[in-house]
Copies of this chain bind each other. A is one copy, B any other.
Amino acid sequence: MATSQSPTDYDARDWPPFAVTVDLVVLTVRDGALSALVIRRGEDPYAGCLALPGGFVREAESLDRAAARELAEETGLAELPVHLEQLATYGAVDRDPRMRVISVAYLALAPDLPTPRAGGDAVAAAWTPVASILPDLFPGSPPHSGAAGASLAFDHARILADGVERARAKLEYSPLAAAFCPPQFTVGELRRVYEAVWGVALDPRNFHRKVTGTLGFLVPVGDTTARQGGRPAQLFRLGDVTLLNPPMLRPV
């Protein structure tokens, strides 16, 4: 009857259509700074503004596949060893001035890649320090005089902030910090990931003790490297745990 609320009590074709997009929060750590992949928009609205990469979901494509496709297209790499997970969905009525668009945001964490090339595309993708876009998320850091200070188009600043907060929380309970590292990495490199994402300084000694004491997190490879200078450090690879126990808690 007319007031029924079940999604299948009507033919779905009777109901208003929406455009559905995926937007990507792609994070990496470059030069010790948490950085996000952004594009510069060429067209109105928000022409010339920075925005998150993204695109429309195709008719025969799941949301997850659309996100993976967009990621591959934006970074120019076919199959990336990156973590990709759904973040949240944004559906304010006026978030796009032209029509009703529902955007499903995804969070991707990538190691420090070569500068991304747009896939033969007019829009150039570039890594930008998150602190220069959202200084509120990094209270102690100096104001960025560099490329930006610019805010993002649409509600993308909010989406980026949600993505950073998700990444910060995930680093506590999951081994995802390793997603920012190459396949083999040192404890110091892993610590610099935590410091960049959380925006805090950590005690190297306590960090070392904690991270090597968390069972299943790190597996020693047996080799060492001195790519940071100083005493050579042991190389590790990621273990097989999915949940850290005990967790790596953020400082209060």
| A1 and B122 contacting across the interface, CB-CB below 8 Å | yes
Contacts of A16 in B (CB 8 A): 56-59
Q: Which of B6, B73, B101, B119 contacts A7 (CB 8 A)?
A: B101
A121-B6 Cα distance, complex, nearest whole Å: 10
Q: Which of B15, B74, B100 contacts A5 (CB 8 A)?
A: B74
| A4 and B122 contacting across the interface, CB-CB below 8 Å | yes
| A121 and B19 contacting across the interface, CB-CB below 8 Å | no
Contacts of A58 in B (CB 8 A): 16
Q: Mark A1-45, 1 if CB is under 8 A from B, else 0.
A: 101111111111101111111010000000000000001011101
Query: Which of A84-92, A178-186, A201-209, A225-233 has 4 or more CB atoms under 8 Å from chain B?
Result: A84-92
Q: Which of B3, B8, B64 contacts A43 (CB 8 A)?
A: B8
Q: Which of B54, B59, B64, B119 contacts A6 (CB 8 A)?
A: B54
Contacts of A141 in B (CB 8 A): none
> Closest Cβ of chain B: how far from A32's Cβ, in Å?
28
Known: A1-B121, A5-B70, A61-B93. 12 other contacts (CB 8 A): A6-B43, A6-B55, A7-B19, A8-B43, A8-B96, A9-B123, A11-B98, A12-B56, A18-B20, A20-B20, A20-B91, A63-B89
Closest to A252 in B: B245
Contacts of A57 in B (CB 8 A): 16, 18, 91
> Closest Cβ of chain B: how far from A80's Cβ, in Å?
15
Q: A74-132: which residues lie under 8 A (CB-CB) from chain B?
A: 74, 86, 88-93, 96, 98-104, 119-123
> Closest Cβ of chain B: how far from A55's Cβ, in Å?
4
> Closest Cβ of chain B: how far from A84's Cβ, in Å?
14
| A123 and B4 contacting across the interface, CB-CB below 8 Å | yes
Contacts of A235 in B (CB 8 A): none
Contacts of A19 in B (CB 8 A): 7, 12-13, 15, 17-18
The answer to the question of A62 belonging to the interface, with a C-beta cut-off of 8 Å to chain B, is yes
A94-B20 Cα distance, complex, nearest whole Å: 16
Contacts of A4 in B (CB 8 A): 121-123
